[in-house]
Amino acid sequence: MALNAEVEPVKNSRAHSYEATDIVVLEGLEPVRARPGMYIGSTGPSGLHHLVWEVVDNAVDEAMAGRADRIDVTLLGGGGCRVVDNGAGIPVEPHKQYPDVSSAELVLTTLHAGGKFGGASYKVSGGLHGVGVSVVNALSKRLILEIDRADKHHVAEFANGGNRKKALKVTGPAPRGRTGTTVTFWPDPKVFEDIEFRAQTVIERLQVMAFLNRGLEIRFSDERPGREQKMTFRYTGGIVDYVKHLNAAKESLFKKVCSFTQSEEDQEVEIALQWNTGFHESIHSFANGISTMEGGMHEEGFRKALTNAVNRYARAKGQLKEKDDNFLGEDIREGLTGIISVRLRDPQFEGQTKAKLGNVSIRSLVERATNEKLGDWLEENPREANQIVQKSLVAARARVAARTARDLTRRKSALDGAGLPGKLVDCSSRDPCESELFIVEGNSAGGSAKDARDPRTQAILPIRGKILNVERARIDKMLKNVEIQALISAIGGGVAEDFDLNKVRYHKVIVLADADVDGSHIRTLLLTLFFRQMKLLVEGGYVYVAQPPLYSTLVGKEKAYLKDDLAKARFTEDHPTHKAEFQRLKGLGEMDFNELRETTIDPARRSLLQVTVEQAAVADEVCSVLMGDDVELRRTFIQQNAKDVRFLDI
């Protein structure tokens, strides 16, 4: 065809018709099976564990309603999970709108069916979308429902995505007059990438639930062969105990914990605060027991009132003069560990993930309570109040110094031209969506990675040795570190409060280090930097850890690479007649570029682990334990997590 020739427009020959017969109506639980990610976020590990959270949240709702004081969660051999509460038990009578089915079966097989949309059964509840246990049923290969109510024990069974296998019926008397609900389910392997629960993930969530519900006893049991363990959580101090727990790995500024509550109409707020000598704020908020990782109105009200209350106190005591500027919120929050827990009748969450709270009324309540109660506490505790003010003064000076360091860094970058570190081997693409940055340990590995990469979309930044541990350093000291300067410049989004996700130059920032002790330390230091100073990078899903294989072996004339000892063991099981000789691979710097490309760089063959922050409070605690000064606490953490080490995602 000649250039500029006129061509008759034609319809796309591959276009499909769109008629009334093409409209598909999904009924019952079919929408969940068709699009599980819409309901549980993903079909990976987070989605798998979300099934447990949905059932546990229902049990916690019973506790918040005053009908339960104990929950038992058991991981079963064979991949199942059982959740038992001693609440009232789901109603078993036929429903007035659907007289042919029991109310309990309706709750298990119908989206948006439950007792949380009206009436007085639940004054507050975390499961307000009403899709929780029905989604669990839809995504399980088998689910058994047991209800103890009115001195009778009822049982129903469902299979293969929520299909009723055995209708609800009475099987005998309730044990010793017990009431409550038991849900036992087995996730469907056709839905999930992996159906094995991680014990520590479940334990961490259950402990948080116990902290948030003072006096509630939660028992955990792992009955899987080789992993047997039992734990019980019950906290009479509630969120005060939670703050002490989070600060256990840090040096507290003072021993007292400031705590207060206030309620009005159908909502209440409970807050606990304690400062430590560290440099990072750790404020975690919850609404009806649900972690609001993205904050919301309750956090807004607290932050504003906290800043006002401390500034008002400092001025009244003459510690801030007329000529002095007020402290900024970040000055006051340095080293603050705080829990904000609100309960309200009709929470407005943003989306099914419930990550942000939108109720304006709760902002007003939290702001009033903090202004009044925190102001009183400061007056009643002058020694601690003075320590808070003095720490804020030091933080304010450090903020000014950090601002100067940032400005100096920007001026240097402007003089250098492009503003990128000289050792960065950049990619040619300027589209962040397809661009990747490999942070490589050492110049020798950097050289191999440079030759192994795709120069169009893959950039290489070699770093020398171990970067500064930012857990123990203020931002002004951090910004003087040459390797951290290079990282900040290469990634492009800035740092701390100035960080802008829209300016990030690569949507995959990949940590590539040796699979030895030094490599693990380097990975941990880098992830601490990202979590503390570029948190949005982690929350946006931009941070990855490369997983170079530990072993290689020959299968015929082809070389096979095995990621770890577990992969090696599986290979041996799958090839019982194969006399394999396994070679332990050398460090990245000793791999030639072909081997590095084949095992670690090539997107078609590599193995990447995405770093996520599902529970900010837990991630904060782990960061403090692993990177803090308390050696004994770190040893205890490692010992407790040893059984789950193959799940460890840093």
CATH number at residue 311: 3.30.230.10
* pLDDT for 131: 53
* Mean pLDDT lowest among 28-32, 255-259, 484-488, 574-578: 28-32
Residue that is last in its domain, among 199, 233, 267? 233
Same domain, 542 and 482: yes
Q: Is the pLDDT score of 9 beyond 60?
A: no
Q: What is the pLDDT of residue 407?
A: 66
596 in a domain, yes or no? no
344, 448: one domain: no
Is residue 574 domain-resident?
no
Query: 4 falls in which pLDDT band (50, 70, 90)?
Result: very low
pLDDT at residue 509 greater than cutoff 60 = yes
Could you give the CA distance from residue 109 to residue 137 in angstroms, rounded to a whole number?
7
pLDDT at 120 over 80: no
pLDDT band at 626 (very low <50, low <70, confident <90, very high): low
- Per-residue pLDDT at 550: 81
**Cβ atoms of residues 443 and 425 within 8 Å:** no
Domain count, the chain: 3
Q: Quick one: pLDDT band at residue 562, thresholds 50, 70, 90?
A: confident
Query: Last residue of a domain, which of 212, 233, 254?
Result: 233
What is the pLDDT at residue 248? 85
The CATH number of residue 58's host domain is 3.30.565.10
What confidence score (pLDDT) does residue 119 get?
Answer: 45
Its sign, for the CA torsion 320, 326, 332, 334, is negative
Indicate whether 153 and 215 sit together in one domain: yes
Supply the pLDDT for residue 629: 56
State the pLDDT at residue 20: 42
* Predicted pLDDT at 387: 96
Q: Which of 115-124, 230-239, 305-314, 429-438 has the lowest mean pLDDT?
A: 115-124
pTM value? 0.72
Output phi, psi for 160, to 5 deg.
Answer: 50, 60
Whether residues 158 and 290 fall in one domain: no
Distance CA 70, CA 178 (A): 12
**Strand 180-187's sheet: what is its strand order?**
163-173, 152-159, 140-149, 180-187, 81-85, 70-75, 217-222, 229-233
**pLDDT given for residue 645 in this prediction:** 43
Report the percentage of the chain scoring pLDDT > 70: 82
Q: Is 428 helix (H, G, I), strand (E, B) or coil?
A: coil
Judged by average pLDDT, the poorest of 369-383, 389-403, 559-573 is 559-573
Burial class (CB in 10 A: 0-12, 13-18, 19+), 586: exposed
Better pLDDT: 616 or 305: 305
In this structure, are 389 and 429 located in the same domain? no
pLDDT at res. 177: 83
Name the β-bridge partners of 438: 460, 510
- Minimum mean pLDDT among 236-250, 406-420, 436-450: which range? 406-420
* Per-residue model confidence (pLDDT) at position 311: 96
**Residues with catalytic function:** 441, 514, 516, 518
| Range in 216-225, 279-288, 410-419 the model is least confident about | 410-419
Work out the pLDDT band at 647, boundaries 50, 70, 90. Answer: very low
Q: Is 622 inside any structural domain? A: yes
Confidence of residue 234 (pLDDT cuts 50, 70, 90): very high
Q: Does residue 21 lie within any of the structural domains? A: no
- In a domain? residue 314: yes
pLDDT for res 415: 37
pLDDT-above-90 percentage for the chain:
38
Question: Has residue 641 got a pLDDT over 70?
Answer: no
Q: Are residues 293 and 164 in the same domain?
A: no
In degrees, to the nearest 5, what angle opens at C-alpha 555 toward C-alphas 549 and 559?
A: 40
Domain that holds residue 165: 30-233
Of residues 81 and 634, which shows the higher confidence score?
81
> What confidence tens digit (pLDDT) does each residue in 256-312 have?
999 999 998 889 999 999 999 988 888 999 998 888 888 899 999 999 999 999 999
Q: For residue 105, what pLDDT is reported? A: 82
Whether 24 maps to a domain, the answer reads no
Q: Are residue 384 and residue 446 in the same domain, yes or no?
A: no
- Asked if 387 contacts 334 with a C-beta cutoff of 8 angstroms, the reply is no
Query: Which pLDDT belongs to residue 494?
Result: 87
Tell me, yes or no, whether 626 lies in a domain.
yes
Distances (CA, A) of 218 to 74, 134, 198, 209, 279: 11, 23, 18, 8, 33
Tokens 């000598």 sit on residue: 277
If one compares 103 and 308, the residue with the highest pLDDT of the two is: 308
Choose between 552 and 369: higher pLDDT.
Answer: 369
Q: What is the mean pLDDT of residues 572-597?
A: 77
What pLDDT score was predicted for residue 229? 93
Give which of 636, 648, 650, 620 is closest to 199, Cα–Cα. 648
Domain finish residue from 233, 262, 290: 233
**In Å, what is the CA distance from 364 to each residue of 176, 252, 332, 415?**
47, 30, 21, 48
Residues 385 and 440 occupy one common structural domain: no
Residue 17 has pLDDT above 60, yes or no: no
Reported as a single tens digit per residue, the pLDDT across 310-353 is 999 999 998 888 777 899 999 999 999 999 999 988 888 875 55
Higher pLDDT: 64 or 373? It is 373
Q: In this model, does residue 219 exceed pLDDT 70?
A: yes
Same domain, 249 and 273: yes
In a domain, 390, yes or no: yes
My answer on whether 194 and 328 are in the same domain is no
Tokens of 167: 């209708």
18 pLDDT tier (thresholds 50, 70, 90): very low
pLDDT at 183: 95
User: For the domain that residue 532 is a member of, what is the CATH number?
Assistant: 3.40.50.670
* pLDDT value at 445 more than 60: yes
**616 shares its domain with 489:** yes
For residue 160, give the amino acid letter.
N
Within this chain, do residues 228 and 312 fall inside the same structural domain, yes or no?
Answer: no
Given pLDDT bands bounded at 50, 70 and 90, which one contains residue 616?
low
